[in-house]
Amino acid sequence: MKLISSGTSPFVRKVHVLLHETGQYDDLEIAPIPTSPFDTAPEVASANPLGKIPALIRDEGPTLYDSRVICRFLDDRAQSGLYPEARLWETLTLEATADGIMEAAILMLYEHRLRPAEAVLESWVDAQWDKIERAVEALNARWISHLRGPLDMGQIAVGCALAYLDFRHDARGWRKGNDALDDWFALFSQRDSMKATQPAD
């Protein structure tokens, strides 16, 4: 199998962390492919008609894309229990929240990187950050007991989302007023899987 990848995508990092946590990293060929929304690499477009990464090219069966689909497949493949039945809906909701944080953070980045300076809409950027702030506050207020429980995909997704905020939007200061989440992330980021998947720009 081959994973169409990127060194900086938080969605790709989710998959990489899962691979490390489940002992599957060496089972896949990791294929970093430079691509962008304005110039989609042919290999990326071939794997995913939407032109997004990650995409998992399988030896048997169609290519899978969207990080949540890929993570569910790899979890099932390893029977690793990162989507536990006893708290499945909570885990999926937590993963969706983290993915929403990642999406908003990437849109903020694109607004500055892909638009001419005179066309950048700062109110749009701020609106994306408002979404992130609300999500982070909810994680801090409602989800700490889950985050502190046995490892699942929701935790991995949140860890990758917060790490991406540090990577791309550190000056915005997501930690302010979110002490419990900050404490949790400080511990989670010390996992070997997180250390092994730190992004490089």
- The percentage of residues in the chain with a pLDDT greater than 90, rounded to a whole number, is 93
| Residue labelled with tokens 């638009």 | 115
Instruction: Take residue 12 and report the two structure tokens written for it.
Output: 């790709």
- pLDDT tens-digit readout, 68-89: 999 999 999 999 999 999 999 9
pLDDT digits (tens, 9 = 90+) for 8-51: 999 999 999 999 999 999 999 999 999 988 899 999 999 999 99
Round to whole Å and give the CA distance between 43 and 190: 34
SS3 61: coil
**pLDDT tens profile 87-123:** 999 999 999 999 999 999 999 999 998 899 999 899 9
Is residue 103 classed exposed, middle or buried when 0-12, 13-18 and 19+ CB atoms within 10 A define those classes? middle
Residue 180 tokens, joined: 């419990």
Is the pLDDT at 201 greater than 70? The verdict is no
Instruction: Compute the distance between CA of residue 121 and CA of residue 94 in angstroms, rounded to an integer.
Output: 30
Rounded average pLDDT over 140-145? 98
- Ordered by where they begin, the domains of the chain are 2-78 (3.40.30.10), 85-195 (1.20.1050.10)
**Which residue bears the tokens 């938080």?**
10
